Amino acid sequence: MYKLDALPFDNAFSRLPETFFARVHPTPLAAPYPISINRAAADLIELDPAELTRPDFADYFSGAKPLPGAEPLAMLYAGHQFGRFVPQLGDGRAILLGQVRNSRGESWDLQLKGSGQTPFSRNGDGRAVLRSTIREYLCAEAMHGLRIPTTRSLCMIGGDEEVYREQIETGAMLLRMAPSHVRFGSFEVFYHRNQYAPLKQLADHVIAEHYPALIDTDQPYQGFLREVVRRTARLMAQWQLVGFAHGVMNTDNMSVLGLTLDYGPFGFLDAYDPEFVCNHSDYQGRYKFDAQPNIGLWNLSCFAQAILPLLHPDDGEAAAEVARDALAEYEPELVSAYSSGMRAKLGLTTALDGDQALSAGLLDAMHRSQADYTNTFRALSRFKSGNDDRNDAVRDLFIDRAAFDAWALRYAARLRTEQSDDSQRRARMDQVNPKFVLRNWLAQRAIEQAQQKDFSEVDRLLRILHSPFDEHPEHADCAAEPPDWALRLSVSCSS
């Protein structure tokens, strides 16, 4: 286990030329203090648990005290934002402190978000507010608990500095972790500048660090593209299966490792609505829930375009054909991942031709009855498949009881075709249908308490969301549908 002042930094990204970043130090908050510390993330870098209670812990992770071995920098990238290309973005309020390599050989970026202005701040203040920091801190860990690839959250650091958004708010910082924070936009910036040498350097770096099996292959860049396509397809399927909407699926928020990256405005479905738009700033609904799979492919096409010069340096048409072939793998991968995931959510152990129609029929009935997405699937594990069994606990979640009854007959018959055992099926379904997700109203309740310097709800949610498939009967309130006051909640790009 390591002490804070002896973390084993191995800063591979900072060894790249400074074309890729700007060296800049964090601007600490005044009088920083820890809001919440996540032991599970600390274990990933083998940080000694005793270090979590050090009086100067907040100093190290707010920039007030340098971490020995760290080489702080802000990363450069571009991106398509709501469909429009922005030629230069970059880390405007985040600083990569460095990369820690643990004893298992795993490398973890330590990135401080809300750490002050950088050369890429574009007239912004470089700060994050307590509200948005709590949302990202909790949602990253919630996604990990749901077994979905994501960045991780090590700690939140508070301070009494005032930050202006729509109103004056309290500033805060998030220390987030990931194997890499390289994005689709990290490649786009060099492609659109016609700078193909750094494009190749960046691809070689990512392949060496994260796709080493491709190094000795005949076509490593083609393999890289195919792997990013497949990972992104699986990620989109996982989002859909848990009812997660990202809200800002710009190419600068898409990871080349297939991680969920950058939690600003997001939302988990309450009442099932495929048209759900979680971001109040998304006026045209570009990133609505059921559009996410198509947007994933659109973003991948931008990434594929950005690495065309690597696929066939001397033959543009051949490069385009390789890219098209790789992108063609997206839909089959997505459909396969979603179909197998939905069968698991329904407790099915075999695949039959009518399964897609069965799941679509359930979603349609849920939509028409405004049934809660998470709670309906969780309750479905209690479904009894016998001819004479009543299923009132699930049925009562539907306004249109007749629609549910018609679907239930089909579902029961389908279960009987594979001689499903109800008790065994329930155990399986409860391991894929969470009881708890980070609903916006839960996050808001924690935020409002935190604004009064009471961080107990943040820590309570963190514990629950680390094991969202468990019953946690003492925390049943966190599985409830939104109260009336929560129906007025909205989140935007400032969230």
Specify if 70 maps to a domain: yes
Contacts of 412 (CB under 8 A, 6+ apart): 383, 385, 386, 387, 389
pLDDT of residue 385: 87
Tally of domains in the chain:
2
Specify if 69 maps to a domain: yes
**Shortest CA distance to 127 belongs to which of 172, 177, 166, 179?**
172
**Shortest CA distance to 429 belongs to which of 367, 383, 370, 477?**
383
**CA dist., res. 15 & res. 269, Å (int):** 42
**CA dist., res. 148 & res. 136, Å (int):** 15
Domain boundary among 429, 448, 481: 429
Specify if 193 maps to a domain: no
Element (H, E) at 197: helix 196-210
Domain boundary among 411, 429, 447: 429
Domain that holds residue 424: 346-429
Band of residue 360 on the pLDDT scale cut at 50, 70, 90: very high
292-317 residue pLDDT tens: 999 999 999 999 999 999 999 989 99
pLDDT of residue 300: 98
CB 307 within 8 Å of CB 219:
no
Find the catalytic residue in 59, 252, 282, 372. Answer: 252
DSSP 297-351: HHHHHHHHHHTHHHH-TT-HHHHHHHHHHHHTTHHHHHHHHHHHHHHHHTT--S-
pLDDT of residue 489 exceeding 80? no
pLDDT of residue 420 exceeding 60? yes
CA 470 to each of CA 137, 302, 429, 463, 479: distance values in angstroms, whole numbers, following the listed order: 21, 40, 12, 11, 11
CB 474 within 8 Å of CB 436:
no
132-141 residue pLDDT tens: 999 999 999 9
139-153, 347-361, 379-393, 406-420, range with the lowest pLDDT: 379-393
What is the percentage of the chain residues whose pLDDT exceeds 90? 92
Answer yes or no: 273 catalytic.
no
When pLDDT is averaged across residues 276-284 and rounded to a whole number, the result is: 92
What is the percentage of the chain residues whose pLDDT exceeds 70? 100
Specify if 164 maps to a domain: yes
pLDDT of residue 386: 82
174-208 residue pLDDT tens: 999 999 999 999 999 999 999 999 999 999 999 99
Band of residue 487 on the pLDDT scale cut at 50, 70, 90: confident
30-88 residue pLDDT tens: 899 999 999 999 999 999 999 999 999 999 999 999 999 999 999 999 999 999 999 99
Specify if 173 maps to a domain: yes
pLDDT of residue 494: 62
Instruction: Kindly report the average pLDDT of the chain as a whole number.
Output: 96
Give the three-state DSSP class for 147. Answer: coil
Specify if 470 maps to a domain: no
Domain boundary among 405, 429, 453: 429
Specify if 216 maps to a domain: no
Specify if 369 maps to a domain: yes
pLDDT of residue 381 exceeding 80? yes
pLDDT of residue 373: 98
Residue with tokens 């820890």: 34
pLDDT of residue 495 exceeding 60? no
Tokens of 182: 């390289």
SS3 sequence of 248-295: CCCHHHEECCCCECCCCCCEECCECCCCCCCECCCCCCCCCHHHHHHH
pLDDT of residue 458 exceeding 90? yes
202-259 residue pLDDT tens: 999 999 999 999 999 999 999 999 999 999 999 999 999 999 999 999 999 999 999 9
pLDDT of residue 434: 98
pLDDT of residue 165: 84
When pLDDT is averaged across residues 382-395 and rounded to a whole number, the result is: 86
